[in-house]
Amino acid sequence: MSAHHDFAAAALLLGLAITLVQAQSHSVTPSASKNVALDSNIPERHKKWLDEDVRWIISDEERLDFKRLTSDTQRDTFVIAFWERRNPTPNAAHNPFKEEHYRRLAYANSHLAASAPGWKTDRGRFYIMWGPPDSMDSHPAFAPPSETWHYGYIEGIGRDVVLTFVDKCQCGEYVLTGVHSDSDPRILDQIKVY
């Protein structure tokens, strides 16, 4: 009788799972399914570049344009143009912006990782976008541990930008809990969540 009960419970769970999947597939918007189709055509090396390497610095328009490309040659050309647009010395072989970006990415992955790679963490995201803070208050002995990052000025954001990260689980996973700028206290509205 116990085996029969286990089988009935498993069948019920399977039926619920199938119903849930069917309901979700009917609620997918056309634009969401279109994005999935665009993503499925992108080779792994280009997905990594888009989703990891430049995730925090690529514009929404650039992201969509990249997803619409249909060949590796087009994607390679896009990547070259992407970095060239950001090169402070255009047409030079040396691109300080690109080098600094990959230095920040490497730092985030080696110093700001927790249960996820550093680039996926909140601290890693802001380190990659804005670089090291001008000053930092770290309180690892607090319960919970916290860090406050201070930036004197961030272009497009404002002056006296302060980010507060808290490790609520005390497991090294610092989560953004507060953002403030003297220029615009509504700074959080300007920060995209992915």
Model confidence pLDDT, tens digit, residues 119-133 = 999 999 999 999 999
- Determine what percent of the chain is predicted with pLDDT higher than 70: 73
d(CA 180, CA 164): 9
The 10 Å CB-count burial string (b at 16+, else e) for 70-98 is eeeeebeebbeebeeebeeeeeeeebeee
Per residue in 166-180, pLDDT (tens digit) is 999 988 899 999 888
Instruction: Look up the pTM and report it.
Output: 0.74
pLDDT of residue 138: 93
Over residues 56-64, the mean pLDDT reads 95
pLDDT of residue 8: 35
Residue 3 pLDDT > 70: no
Neighbours of 112 (CB within 10 A): 23
pLDDT of residue 188: 56
Residue with the bigger pLDDT between 71 and 38: it is 71
pLDDT of residue 81: 97
pLDDT of residue 23: 34
Compute and round to an integer the Cα radius of gyration of the chain. 22
- Determine what percent of the chain is predicted with pLDDT higher than 90: 59
CA 99 to chain centroid: 19
